[in-house]
A and B are shown apart, each in its own frame.
Chain A
Amino acid sequence: MSHAKKWLQTMKISWVKNTAYRFNFFLQVIGPALIFFFVKYSLWKTIYKSSPEEMIQGYTFTAMITYHIWSFVVSMIGQGHSALDMAVDIRMGRISSYLIYPFNFWEFHTASFLSFQILQIIISIVTLGIFLATGILESLSFFHFFLGLSASIYVSLFWFVLQYLTGIIGFWLEETWIIRVSLQVITVFLSGAVFPLDLFPEVWRNILDYTPFPYLTYYPIKIFMGQEVPYLKFIYTLGAWLITVLTINTIVWRRGIRNYTAAGM
């Protein structure tokens, strides 16, 4: 079997796995993002109740809701993936099979990630269609949509390597979900997923500029909204972080595999 076919087959298997238990997939992946959006919508509706045209740090009610709709899309595409099974595979000794297969561990997980991403993009587009049809989202520029989509996919690559890192820490740590959840909590808060970073105090904004967080949600949303964004800075900064984490992953994997005891073998 050619290498491309192996990737395709793995993607197909992953697709089937993800869609086998649809209700579970909905509750685990789509539900949290939808509820998160719903809570934010309700909160801002209450805040702007008396005067929807009032500006809060440059956001009217409509602008704020539009921001959160795009936040939903970015969180689905950019930060939807999680290395849920990776650490368990390591702990239970299941990665032994990958070590002898002609398709290695990272290839398997990357192919699964790609399949998951296709699913997430489809779901996001359908949800956007619903938002448009119901009038929650007033308009959509296809040009900015494709720019934003590209930015979100770029973010998802960084998110994937970061999640991969939390997974392979399983060589040393019993419960890596703690790191994953901590990362999620920090990212949701500091990336502008809860509310625009413009609402943060200036000191926080200045510090955040030196971290990858604003590039994970805030900048992609701004791109979707068609606002002025330093594109090159976005690409370079996230790219630099991507390469850094990839390098760390390679080192961690090499050291981890020396540590691996293949439990149960």
Chain B
Amino acid sequence: MGFLSEIKHYLRVYRRYLSTSASQAMSFRTSFVLLIIMDLLFTGSSYFKISFIYDHIEVIDHWVRHQLMFFVTFMLALNALNTTLLSTNFWMFSDDLKTGNLDYILLKPVSSIYIVFFRYIKPSGIPNIILTHSLLIYFGMQNNLGFIEWLMLPFLIVLSFTLYALIQFVISCSMFWLIEGLGINFLRLQMQELARWPDFIFSKYLRTVFMSAIPILLVGSGPVHFIFDRSYWYLIPLMLLLCFILYYLLHFIWNRGLTHYDSASS
């Protein structure tokens, strides 16, 4: 199968996933509405949290209110994408490993990594994606972003989201080595919590670790630093490089994990 036809094949599969996820979501309408409310509550509390702190101070490190607000909404936008497109899959993966359902995934003629991490989509997250991206545009305007910055923003969101996703995929693979993988999902959530704050609030040592070895702080701080100050340009190629490294690392760990997987249902 050629590269292009393979891409087409995967897109067709993804369209099916979208369709089944939408039907499933519509079957449980109360849950659907509650999920929207939950996402809005999270976004609201994150916004007010920063707003209330800035009612009493002028700057945090060197960032004024609208700069940190831009960072926070950038992360909220990524979070909304993550919740909609990926998060359910991580929870299902720990279940699939425990129950042996992964067996059926391994038999399918599509990459097992693709099925495991992209199978479930949460349509209820769409209103939150719209809200957070609107807020991002609003705070971008507050920061007087120039034409180039606006042009770069979609690319930076995609790059950050890719890095964010790859870090979470790699972390999730450690579930292969645990009997109960639920804790790994909580570890992943804690990584997200760290990423929601700019790198400069952490000590130098931790900043180095979380900007390179486990580059979770790079997800938000990399692009936002670059948008505010071009002298941080080197963070963007670093993010690209880390995406490549993590992509190959994911395949390596996944294959090692599969050899360790003992299939509970067999």
> A residues touching B (Cβ–Cβ < 8 Å)?
21, 23-28, 31-32, 35-36, 39, 42-43, 45-47, 49, 56-57, 173-175, 178-179, 181-182, 185-186, 188-189, 194-195, 199-201
A219 to B53, CA, bound (A): 20
A47 to B200, CA, bound (A): 11
Flag whether B99 is at the interface (Cβ < 8 A): no
Task: Encode contact with A along B201-233: 1 for CB under 8 Å, 0 otherwise.
Answer: 111001000000000000000000000000000
| Beyond A185-B38, A195-B49, A199-B52, 7 additional pairs, beta carbon < 8 A | A21-B180, A27-B186, A31-B186, A42-B202, A56-B56, A185-B45, A194-B49
Chain A positions within 8 Å of B203 at CB level: 42
- Shortest Cβ distance from residue A82 to the other chain B in the assembled complex, whole angstroms: 11
A185 to B48, CA, bound (A): 13
- Shortest Cβ distance from residue A85 to the other chain B in the assembled complex, whole angstroms: 11
**With A32-B186, A200-B52 given, is the CB distance from A39 to B194 under 8 Å?**
yes
Task: Encode contact with A along B165-181: 1 for CB under 8 Å, 0 otherwise.
Answer: 00000000000001111
Interface segment out of the listed B1-9, B27-35, B110-118, B128-136: B27-35
A47 to B50, CA, bound (A): 12
Flag whether B197 is at the interface (Cβ < 8 A): yes
What's the dominant secondary structure at chain B's contact region? helix
Residue of A nearest to B202 (CB): A42
Residue of A nearest to B196 (CB): A39
- Shortest Cβ distance from residue B39 to the other chain A in the assembled complex, whole angstroms: 9
A69 to B249, CA, bound (A): 38
A23 to B182, CA, bound (A): 10
Flag whether B152 is at the interface (Cβ < 8 A): no
Task: Encode contact with A along B33-65: 1 for CB under 8 Å, 0 otherwise.
Answer: 011011001100100110011011100110000
A35 to B197, CA, bound (A): 12
A199 to B182, CA, bound (A): 35
A27 to B185, CA, bound (A): 9
**With A47-B57, A178-B35, A185-B45 given, is the CB distance from A24 to B183 under 8 Å?**
yes
Residue of A nearest to B42 (CB): A185
> B residues touching A (Cβ–Cβ < 8 Å)?
28, 30-31, 34-35, 37-38, 41-42, 45, 48-49, 52-53, 55-57, 60-61, 178-184, 186-187, 189-190, 193-194, 197, 200-203, 206
A137 to B190, CA, bound (A): 24
- Shortest Cβ distance from residue A99 to the other chain B in the assembled complex, whole angstroms: 26
A151 to B259, CA, bound (A): 50
Contact A174 B28 (CB under 8 A): yes
Contact A189 B38 (CB under 8 A): no
Chain B positions within 8 Å of A28 at CB level: 182-183, 186
Residue of B nearest to A195 (CB): B53
Chain A positions within 8 Å of B197 at CB level: 39, 42-43
Contact A175 B28 (CB under 8 A): yes
Residue of A nearest to B188 (CB): A27
Contact A27 B41 (CB under 8 A): no
Contact B183 A26 (CB under 8 A): yes
Contact A56 B34 (CB under 8 A): no
Chain A positions within 8 Å of B30 at CB level: 173
Chain B positions within 8 Å of A32 at CB level: 186, 189-190, 193
A173 to B32, CA, bound (A): 11
Contact A178 B31 (CB under 8 A): yes
Contact A182 B34 (CB under 8 A): yes
Chain B positions within 8 Å of A36 at CB level: 193
Among A21, A27, A179, residue most surrounded by chain B Cβ atoms (within 10 Å): A27
A-B contact pairs, 11 of them (CB 8 A): A21-B179, A21-B183, A23-B178, A27-B187, A31-B190, A39-B194, A46-B61, A46-B200, A47-B53, A175-B31, A182-B37
